Structure 1
Amino acid sequence: MSAPRPLRPTLLAPAYWPEVRRGTERVIRLLADGLRDAGHRPRLVTGHPGARRAVAEEDGLEVVRLPRPPAVRAAVSRGRIDEHAAHLPGVVAELVRDPGDVLHALYPTDAVAAALARRAHRLRGRRVPLVVSNMGPPDRRWARERRGRTTGLVTVARRADAVTTLSAFARDRVRAELAVDSLVVAPPVDLDAFAPPADDVRHAAPTILFASAPESDAKRLPLLLEAVALLRDRDPAVRLVAQAPRDPAARRALDAQPGVATVDLDDHAALREAYGRAWVTALPSRDEAFGLVVAESLACGTPAVACAGEGPAEIVVDDGVGRIAAAATPQALADALCGALRLAGEAGVRACCRAAVRDLGVDAHAARWLALYERLLADAAR
């Protein structure tokens, strides 16, 4: 019997490394790793600030970078169109020429481009499956702010072969706000890259890590700073290590706060070291679909703290791996952090934390996607 034909899924996102390094870009890289290791040939079609189409093979992922022409960028700005739409004319042409086996869009406007290309193939008699992944918990207000978002999130999603979200929290939000049903596919964690330190040593002082974008209002760093100040009133040794803001003045202002130090965590090795040495990782964000930093922290054996009613609360499943703040207030967050700091010193906590995310590994994640892709391809062939 011949071996199964390698699949060639086409992933679609508005930007990629090194231009942008957010959770979505990390998920793309890990999904590509899992697909590659399983013998498949993923491709990413994305935008870039360059003047020409560029193609590169990056660790088994074919990356097609399409330009954002100045005239299109100007039209986007004038027309209240989503800022990530400037490369989309090139995306449609690229996908009409070569859609791969499955179209998998990870942003609403990319979903619109994929739907246009899929329609062209359907007119030629070919059915190309389309998957739309919501990488956050979008709501109707956000969707209406820019043209293209509602179309991608609602019109295209309802016609797609599958829609996915990152958590039950995100699934319920999308259903309530947009009347779109979805499957939950949690993002992957690189359990090889993120692991407890070999020497099992944490910082001498009680250290809280904030490994998210400090510029994002949704991450609620000011709330965390207030909570840390309350903790330091009880124990002045408590310190906060935070991802450095990109703006130098903002970084200096953060470093000037008592007990606070900023570090550059863009490098995987530095991030792993920070997780492993910290006592607790804090993510007090709102509208958080999943919270990859929480899962990565647990993989490194470090407890985590998040707020109730958000996606990360589905990862911090019990008091053996962290704490959930009952409310988004400085006192409630300080109380949760205090409990997690005590937990960090207990025997066996690293093993408990890591066990909580063992099902989120890259291979298992890729296998879930392959099963979905293959089901959709079988349906399209009928």
Structure 2
Amino acid sequence: MLGCVRIALTHAYSWPEVRRGAERMVPDLARALSGRGHDVTVITSTWRPLAPQPWRVVRFARRHADESRHEASFGRRALAHLVVKRYDAVHSLGPRDAGASILAARVRRGRRTIYTNLGLPDRDWVSQQPWAATHERIVRRIDAYGCMSRFALDMLERDYNRRGVLTPGGVNLGEFVPAPRRVSTPTLLFSGAMGEPRKGVGLLLEALPLVARHVRDVRLWLSGPGDAAAMLDAASEEARARTEVLALGDAGDQPARYGQAWATVLPSTNDSFGMALLESLACGTPIVASSHAAPSELVSEGTGAVCAPDSAASIAEACVAAIELARQATTVDRCRASAERYDWNTGLAPAFERLYAGD
């Protein structure tokens, strides 16, 4: 392990005020790095004060509901802080704060600057964003450009002729553990932004009666932020009867849901990783991942199945296969083993240390 490194992690949003995989990444990484003896500061913004943490927190009170204005404001305030404070490495998870980090490094010579793109570096899409010019500077000047998946790394090299480094999300294997037993009825779990069309809830509901032809008592749990009412209204009567929308609950409820389900399903498009799938694997539960973009990288032999995101029949077939895996005694151990390289403490924190050191 390196000696004590002064590390700043910057992100305009904060867990658990915003409950997405990206926001969970910041405190998990901070916890792992602090546990390895580093001096960690998280720079973020929230509407309300945050609970005390074992690491330093610099919190800017959020001023704007509009995300674009909020992120721009956060970038400006982060710049002022990064210019006056001493850090050895600054790891940013948003383009506005990464741009600020690059500017501050002109004053703070010798500081390492790292950016993790939480999405996909699709040049056509990025060019339409208000921070497109900032992203061009990031591509040219950031010391290390991180992507969540190999799919995203390939896109970065193809669209920008820039080589990146793999900076995936992780999981705490001590927190995400298998449940004592699964629920008695074969149950699929969707965990994510329910109201976001690209996550595939609508097509999953269409696939559910097809799954029932092979697994007669199959059920579906929907868990996560957002409102699935419109999609449920559009679904068949049978799909609605087989579906339960779970209360958002505390963040600590999620491992039990993963462990009790028979399979976790993410039939999404344009995802750069798939945190819900990784957390499911850590809990010993097989997964169904879309073949579009990055999530299928998390599927290995005996841990899940891959589906086409535009086909209810393909989703149903993959769900049936995953349910069959859940019946096998060896599946829990296989799923856990596939998640080990993503464990924050033993797998990812050492890799991030090397990145901060410039190795």
TM-score (norm 1): 0.85
Tell me if structure 2 keeps the 8 A contact 1:139–1:173.
yes
Partner of 2:54 in structure 1? 60
Tell me if structure 2 keeps the 8 A contact 1:324–1:336.
yes
Quick one: distance in 2 between partners of 1:166 and 1:83?
A: 24
Deviation track 1:315-340 (CA, whole Å, cap 9, x = no partner) reads: 1122x111111453100111111111
- Matching of residues 7-18 of structure 1 within 5 Å: 7-18=5-16
Give the residue type in structure 2 aligned to 1:218.
R
CA 1:353–1:265: 2 relative to 1, 3 Å: farther
Partner of 1:280 in structure 2? 263
Deviation of 1:375 after TM superposition, in Å, equals 2.5
Partner of 1:312 in structure 2? 295
CA 1:142–1:352: 2 relative to 1, 3 Å: same
CA 1:265–1:175: 2 relative to 1, 3 Å: farther
Partner of 2:95 in structure 1? 108
CA 1:353–1:93: 2 relative to 1, 3 Å: same
Give the residue type in structure 1 aligned to 2:191.
A
Further displaced range: 60-69 or 360-369: 60-69
- Matching of residues 219-258 of structure 1 within 5 Å: 219-247=199-227, 257-258=240-241
Structure possessing the higher radius of gyration over alpha carbons: 1
Partner of 1:217 in structure 2? 197
Quick one: distance in 2 between partners of 1:48 and 1:265?
A: 19
Alignment coverage as a number of residue pairs: 355
Partner of 1:33 in structure 2? 31
Tell me if structure 1 keeps the 8 A contact 2:267–2:308.
no
- Matching of residues 167-206 of structure 1 within 5 Å: 167-197=149-179, 199=180, 201-206=181-186
Partner of 2:128 in structure 1? 145
- Secondary structure class of the residue paired with 1:86: helix
Deviation of 1:307 after TM superposition, in Å, equals 1.5
- Secondary structure class of the residue paired with 2:154: helix
- Secondary structure class of the residue paired with 2:127: helix
CA 1:158–1:16: 2 relative to 1, 3 Å: same
CA 1:151–1:266: 2 relative to 1, 3 Å: farther
Partner of 1:93 in structure 2? 80
| Alignment partner of 1:157 is 2:139 | yes
Partner of 1:49 in structure 2? 47
- Secondary structure class of the residue paired with 1:64: strand
Structure 1's unaligned 5+ residue stretches are 377-382
CA 1:83–1:145: 2 relative to 1, 3 Å: farther
CA 1:312–1:261: 2 relative to 1, 3 Å: same
Tell me if structure 2 keeps the 8 A contact 1:210–1:282.
yes
- Secondary structure class of the residue paired with 1:271: helix
Tell me if structure 1 keeps the 8 A contact 2:151–2:294.
yes
For the aligned residues, what is the CA RMSD? 2.5
Further displaced range: 12-21 or 348-357: 12-21
Tell me if structure 1 keeps the 8 A contact 2:113–2:143.
yes
Quick one: distance in 2 between partners of 1:162 and 1:245?
A: 32
Tell me if structure 1 keeps the 8 A contact 2:11–2:93.
yes
Quick one: distance in 2 between partners of 1:276 and 1:341?
A: 13
Partner of 1:379 in structure 2? none
Partner of 1:23 in structure 2? 21
Deviation track 1:181-234 (CA, whole Å, cap 9, x = no partner) reads: 20112221110111112x3x2111110000111122221111111111221344
Partner of 1:345 in structure 2? 327
Partner of 1:301 in structure 2? 284
Deviation track 1:210-264 (CA, whole Å, cap 9, x = no partner) reads: 0111122221111111111221344441110011554495598599822000113
CA 1:251–1:43: 2 relative to 1, 3 Å: farther
Structure 2's unaligned 5+ residue stretches are none
